[in-house]
Structure 1
Amino acid sequence: MRLTEEDCLRRFGVRPAPEQLEEVRAVLDAETQRERQAQGRGDTQVMRLCCFLLFRAGLLEDVPRIWRAKTSSMDADASIDLQFLCGAGLEETKRYLRELGSDEAEAASRRLLTNEVSGELDGFSADEYAASQEAYYDRDEG
């Protein structure tokens, strides 16, 4: 059974428990695979939420997974915030991507650099960004 954005919010909230992260990853991977097969097959709003939940956890190991989701289609790229790569912090993420050294990591690094140069990441704080996204997802709650 596929989950909707509403289903995911009910199941995981905006701060998933550590034991829920594997399920969040599984949902994201399934939607990413669908979206890679054909744009529009995956639910990019579910993908965005799952990426936010992984961002919230702040684990560097999730950076490549978030990048793969973001780059699975033009719609996904527009829907999934680049900042979601940086849950562990911008500098930590850049260092991690350099250490990975893969083509995928290099592409993500280039995109981060482009956004840094343009000023889009000036003063980036993972905590502040998380708070703004929590407010976005709580929009229907209040």
Structure 2
Amino acid sequence: MNDDEWYERHGLRPADVEPVRSMLREQIRLGADNDSALIHLGCEQLFLHGDLADVLPIWQAKHSSFDAACSVEWQLLCGAGREQTLAHLRTLGTAEAAEVLAYLSAVDPEDVAAFDVAEQSRWYVEYHGGLS
């Protein structure tokens, strides 16, 4: 299934995000053979859901292939808000959480200052034609 088919089936804000999580796990498993456009859409869906539990799966999806690494921007890790995400990562205390924390801490301060969850959400909705 490609990203267009996925979008037609689930929309941008699916009521149930478990299929999104499952799809991302499958795409991660595919590694270099995955579909980075589908991964990006799934990460957008999880960003819009705003659950801190999705930060590490989004990180794993980002690092599943070169194309996914390029397409999944840092903002997608922060659907619950950047400060909340950083605090959550600090409480996890895992090596993977430390990697994400270091990555997010290195983001350009001007980009951080311009980041707003609501504005980023509006941008994703507009990108998809205003349909959520």
TM-score for both structures, normalised by structure 2: 0.93
Higher relative contact order (CA 8 A, sep 6+): 2
In structure 1, C-alpha distance between the alignment counterparts of 2:95 and 2:111, rounded to whole Å: 23
Could you tell me how far apart the structure 1 residues matched to 2:19 and 2:71 are? 21
- Asked whether 1:31 is paired with 2:27, we answer yes
1:12 aligns with 2:18: no
Work out which of the residue numbers 38, 53, 57 in structure 2 matches 1:61.
Answer: 53
1:81-103 residue CA offsets vs partner (Å, 9 max, x unmatched): 11111000000000000111111
> Displaced runs of 4+ in structure 1, greater than 3 A?
none
RMSD (Å), alpha carbons: 1.4
Q: 2:18 aligns with which of 1, 6, 22?
A: 22
* Structure 1 match to 2:124: 133
Instruction: Say how many residue pairs are matched.
Output: 131
Give the TM-score normalised by the residue count of structure 1. Answer: 0.87
Consecutive unaligned residues of structure 1, counting only runs of 5 or more, are: none
**Partners of 2:7 and 2:64 in 1: CA distance:** 22
Identity %: 34
Is 2:119 aligned against 1:121? no
The answer to whether the aligner puts 1:111 opposite 2:103 as a matched pair is yes
Deviates more, 1:66-75 or 1:93-102: 66-75
